[in-house]
Structure 1
């Protein structure tokens, strides 16, 4: 279904969410939504970090514990704790019950990591790092290098395979950083702006255990699709980038999107943790409606475009990790169109988390967006409270999937576009010619640079993005601003001559803090226009 909008000059180009009677959009106050505040069970732990000669008694040691597996309804705060230790034995207070990733750092030595279990009354834990001296710059961050082995490499493999970085079929030793795992680590490190060397570093291992979305970063189901093609990693393994494309992509979108812009949604099971989960979810939908033509209407019937459900561990096909695990720690997942199911892990304590932020991220998947490697964006894979507000790269993605449709008659058509900060530096429109026509399409732009420096950040372009729903072909890629063909950061053809009914234009400005771009989408119909 196409949506016709008002003529140029009408600014009402965003969608809406239907709110239940008496509700209004607001920032939820979680102090009033939780029926009770649950306490985290903690114990006192005695820790000894030693080697055979026990010389570590006088050596400063940094110990980090990541709480990677929690009991049901345990608050998610204080997931990471750090201590500076001196002496043979140390007493750690208020250590939460559950599984912890322990990382030991000793000056001039490579770090050491292992899993420890804290269960009830804990008397003593002994950590024995292998004490491998640092031989070159950078090794102080490397837990394991390619070719080395450790038992927890098996859980690293599980993570990399689950999120799409490591393909099935590697029959190497599960405890070894083989060439396949090293290649997958390079891809993961590049995707999240870590040092990409194929070694298991502290930063990489830590990121693997932080709370995140359960949706894979990479899809490799169909290598014939551009977004699923693989690139050489340099370690003998072909691995995909974010969304399945090359590592330069700041964000990519899936090939799937809804044909409608008026979407319906259903509410399935809620959670007992808070009293206004549906209000927070509607706020998340409104955040996307505010920056796109999408609107969301509740329905109690089937089918619906989107469905929201809190899943309990006792349910069949439980999709989550039951509070985190040694392999990964996920809060929710959303399915791409045309599925639209969004599931929350009800093992978590949602009185301690932002449902609105989590829902906004998963709704991004349900409307067709993949993960972004831009920190603090809504589509960044890892949980953060500001997930709830779409950022510039998120807006660019959704506007490249859903453009307002205008119907225009006549031989010459001009439509204004404005790429400013409040629009995420992006504007799009689809011009409907009424029937397939021969046409010439192009765009013009005018730039206002507040700093009058026109530096490299001031990238801007207008392109003919799609004709009858098919991309016209990218014309620039690589560098700081451009990605691979599926990336919405790429310019497509700036002028196009062909045959079709609908022509989608896109105007994009980079670094919109000091840059505003205006322009026109122009179409010249070349045939006689007789129906």
Structure 2
């Protein structure tokens, strides 16, 4: 009996990072979701040949993120052959069951909060790669050792997180990339003179990529050497989930790390655990670089002489170990609920 009690006490430590446990956490209700994306629920099980109100809106979504041409698409509510091909491509890229119809798993992915960079605005050198670059593989180039300055806007910000906490989150995010490539990032006070300019903006903010409200597009950044990194001010940003209780809270450091990848020239990755995967759930933290992220950025800038790939591999391995441990604990708890004692 004692071993079982011990496991019950440890269970929260293991389950906190397990996806089954995460699914039981509070999630945003419908009122939090961006209105247009929430309306996609009515399209469940729509398939080729059907005509459902809202398909035209989803076609615009697919055009925005690179699955349909921005011009020439038939933006009606008809589920036509071209739209079916777009759904199939979307399912393939996200590792979903390829059905060609709007099943529940596809709609859930479509409605997930995500980065605003188009999935087609990137290219892969060959089919074996997972990581991707912007077309032409743009990167920052400077004579001598590469040093990039960055600054957070003194005016385009949010008032509920101390400025020092925002700065600290970005400092950690930049440091992750600096660990793996020979690039040094320096925080500066002069915003207009910085190479990378960070700001929180709402709605249409003048760059041609308007934000759309809570839990839609979270942020976007532009390819080198633009240096623009914008976050949606409508989101409830968090630097500490212990303090921020909103079920719609978005981890600032995770999004910052992702968007810095775009600033450096990386596109979106289909690897779900990678930082450069395009979507992030509310209250999810995903700020640690994975092998795919590191291989991609090092293909652009080379490896930092002091970097050891084993540190990333160990991180991946330990994450897998925690997931397996979580599964074991769930099994033990289930058996205990049925009155069966399991010795481990």
Deviation for aligned residue 1:287: 1.2
CA distance in 2, matches of 1:360, 1:216: 18
Corresponding residue for residue 265 of structure 1: 150
CA distance in 2, matches of 1:404, 1:339: 23
Deviation for aligned residue 1:404: 5.1
Deviations 1:225-274 (A, max 9, x none): xx6xxxxxxxxxxxxxxx47787642212311111421111221321121
Corresponding residue for residue 337 of structure 1: 224
2:115 is paired with a residue whose SS is coil
Corresponding residue for residue 132 of structure 2: 252
1:374 aligns with 2:264: no
Q: Please tell me whether the aligned partners of residues 258 and 367 of structure 1 are also in contact (alpha carbons under 8 angstroms).
A: yes
Query: Structure 2-normalised TM-score?
Result: 0.69
Corresponding residue for residue 274 of structure 1: 161
Distance verdict in 2 for CA 1:355–1:418, change over 3 Å: closer
Q: Please tell me whether the aligned partners of residues 124 and 131 of structure 2 are also in contact (alpha carbons under 8 angstroms).
A: no
Deviation for aligned residue 1:170: 3.4
1:79 aligns with 2:45: no
Corresponding residue for residue 293 of structure 1: 182
1:308 aligns with 2:204: no
Query: Structure 1-normalised TM-score?
Result: 0.46
Match of 2:42 among 91, 97, 114: 114
Deviation for aligned residue 1:291: 1.9
Distance verdict in 2 for CA 1:423–1:298, change over 3 Å: same
CA distance in 1, matches of 2:308, 2:115: 30
Match of 2:299 among 397, 400, 421: 400
Distance verdict in 2 for CA 1:392–1:404, change over 3 Å: closer
Q: Please tell me whether the aligned partners of residues 180 and 304 of structure 2 are also in contact (alpha carbons under 8 angstroms).
A: no
CA distance in 2, matches of 1:418, 1:298: 22
Corresponding residue for residue 205 of structure 1: 107
Corresponding residue for residue 150 of structure 1: 52
Deviates more, 1:355-364 or 1:377-386: 377-386
Extract structure 1 runs of 4+ deviating beyond 4 A: 95-100, 244-249, 314-318, 417-420, 510-513
Q: Please tell me whether the aligned partners of residues 65 and 118 of structure 2 are also in contact (alpha carbons under 8 angstroms).
A: yes
Deviation for aligned residue 1:306: 0.9
Deviation for aligned residue 1:369: 0.5
2:173 is paired with a residue whose SS is helix
Distance verdict in 2 for CA 1:259–1:97, change over 3 Å: closer
Which structure carries more strand by proportion?
1
Deviation for aligned residue 1:204: 1.3
Deviation for aligned residue 1:423: 5.1
Aligned pairs (5 A) from 1:86-101: 99=35, 101=38
CA distance in 2, matches of 1:404, 1:101: 43
Distance verdict in 2 for CA 1:161–1:80, change over 3 Å: same
1:288 is paired with a residue whose SS is helix
CA distance in 2, matches of 1:152, 1:208: 14
Larger Rg: 1
Match of 2:82 among 151, 176, 180: 180
Q: Please tell me whether the aligned partners of residues 270 and 309 of structure 1 are also in contact (alpha carbons under 8 angstroms).
A: yes
Distance verdict in 2 for CA 1:332–1:203, change over 3 Å: same
Corresponding residue for residue 413 of structure 1: none
Q: How many residues align?
A: 270
1:163 aligns with 2:65: yes
Distance verdict in 2 for CA 1:173–1:295, change over 3 Å: closer
CA distance in 1, matches of 2:251, 2:318: 28
Deviations 1:342-388 (A, max 9, x none): 00101111133211111000000000110011112100000153431
CA distance in 1, matches of 2:114, 2:76: 24
Match of 2:211 among 292, 302, 320: 320
Q: Please tell me whether the aligned partners of residues 152 and 191 of structure 2 are also in contact (alpha carbons under 8 angstroms).
A: no
Q: Please tell me whether the aligned partners of residues 59 and 68 of structure 2 are also in contact (alpha carbons under 8 angstroms).
A: yes
Q: Please tell me whether the aligned partners of residues 182 and 304 of structure 2 are also in contact (alpha carbons under 8 angstroms).
A: no
Q: CA RMSD in A?
A: 3.3
Distance verdict in 2 for CA 1:173–1:297, change over 3 Å: closer
Aligned pairs (5 A) from 1:406-485: 420-422=309-311
Question: Which one scores higher on RCO, CA 8 angstroms, separation ≥ 6?
Answer: 2
Match of 2:118 among 202, 205, 216: 216
1:307 is paired with a residue whose SS is strand
CA distance in 1, matches of 2:204, 2:218: 16
CA distance in 1, matches of 2:107, 2:259: 24
Distance verdict in 2 for CA 1:247–1:80, change over 3 Å: farther
